[in-house]
Structures are given as structure tokens and as C-alpha cells.
Structure 1
């Protein structure tokens, strides 16, 4: 398997675990010092903070990603994915509109750094104003 194919397979496994709600499987795919750049937020470093973020997200949101397309550099050190987030807003997240079970559909993308067969950086982007408009309607 080429380095690029291995990187794509790693990212596809990460998203399969995400869609299955399997945080432990996601954690197995990331480096101990994973850098997680939250959309319009700060950087969190380490598996413990990544696990805490995912627990918070699971409490506030139920999401499934569809239309996932994964790209990887030839050397397998970087990857990116574009997808659609199909979600339900379950519990009010601090500083955001009140949750009432609203649904949303949002295009998003993530950039990854890969080191030693693990995800070393996760940087996700989506249009927060679009999300706010959808859950506020």
C-alpha cells in the first residue's frame, strides 16, 4: 500500500469510528500528543483533551458525516477530508443558541497531519454562522 493510500485508509477509519460513535476507536488512531484545532476556537493538545472534547460533543450533538471525500499527500504526511455534517442539537452548548432538538446540515472540512501511522493534528472548519442560522430558525 502506498503512503497516500495508507493515509487515506487511516482517515477513513477515523470517520468510520466517528460515525459509529466509537470514541475509543478514534482515540486509538490519534497520537498521544495530538493537536486538535477546534473550529473558531483554540488548540487542545493531547489525547485526554481530545477525549474530553468528544465527550462534550456527544452530550450536545448527534452527528453523522456523509459524502466524505479524503485526499492525501503522496508521502502520507498530510491529508484532508470534505464532508457534510448531518446533525441534531441535543443540549445547549455554552455561548450558543438554546438546543431544542434542531437538525442541521452543514458542509465542513478537516486537515490532518500524520506521523508514525497516527493522526498528529486535526484542524476542522465549518461555517459557524450558517450553523447558528440553521439552529435559530
Structure 2
């Protein structure tokens, strides 16, 4: 599989909530650069992140547009996050099943057939506004 196919499969697993499928596509030293907060390195840290996501949020990504570059090692994707905020995440507003629709994007790097970096961006102040209504 090329990088674009791997990344498309990764996001297919995300939408199916197939965390093991996502994890199988990651390099052992995955570098996860979330929009806010510390950089996470390694599969264990990424699995902890997925656990928090699964507990606090129910998200589906739509309107996905993928971009790849000629060396077939980097892929970017633009998407819309359609979510439900189920349980309050640390440092964020209280949760009571608020819904939100939020544009976002990500940059991924693939090495030796595995995703080695995931960098995600979204507008956190907008998300806070959406779930605080």
C-alpha cells in the first residue's frame, strides 16, 4: 500500500471506531502532535489518547479531502468533525452530550509502510464556543 492508501484506511478505521485497526497502521515510535498539549511518542501514549477520545467524544469525520505529495511519504487531509461531547475532558467545559460540527485538518507521515507522525489542527476556541452553548 502507498501512503495515501494507508492514511485512507487509518481514517476509515477512525470512523468505524476500530481502534485496533488504527493502531495496526502506526509505527512503534508514532509521533502524535495534537492541536493543543504535549507531543505524544509511542504506541502506548497513542492508545491512551484513543481511550480518552472514546470516553469523552463520539466523532465521525465527513467531507474528507486527501492530498499526497510526489515522494509518497506525506499525506494531508481536510475534514469536518461531527461530534458529541459525552464526558468532560480534563481542562475543558462540562459535557452533557453537546453536538458540534467543526472543520479540521491533519498532516501524516508514512515510513516503511507505517504512519510515523500524525499532526492535527482545529480551532479550539470555536469548539469551546460550540459546546458551551
Query: What TM-score comes out, normalization by structure 2 length?
Result: 0.98
Q: Match for 2:97 among 92, 97, 101?
A: 101
Counterpart of 2:63 in structure 1 is 67
Counterpart of 1:23 in structure 2 is 19
Cα distance in structure 1, aligned partners of 2:22 and 2:32: 13
State the superposition RMSD in angstroms.
Answer: 0.9
Cα distance in structure 1, aligned partners of 2:79 and 2:92: 23
Cα distance in structure 2, aligned partners of 1:113 and 1:47: 15
Cα distance in structure 1, aligned partners of 2:4 and 2:63: 15
Cα distance in structure 2, aligned partners of 1:69 and 1:83: 7
Q: Give 1:40 deviation, angstroms.
A: 1.5
Counterpart of 1:121 in structure 2 is 117
Q: Give 1:73 deviation, angstroms.
A: 1.1
Q: Tell me, which stretches of 5 or more residues in structure 2 are unaligned?
A: none
- Which aligned pairs between 1:1-137 and structure 2 lie closer than 5 A? 6-137=2-133
Measured against aligned partners, the alpha-carbon deviations of 1:35-62 in whole angstroms (never above 9, x if no partner) come to 0001121110001100110011100000
Runs of 4+ in 1 over 2 A off after TM superposition: none
Q: Give 1:75 deviation, angstroms.
A: 1.1
Cα distance in structure 2, aligned partners of 1:61 and 1:91: 7
Query: What TM-score comes out, normalization by structure 1 length?
Result: 0.95
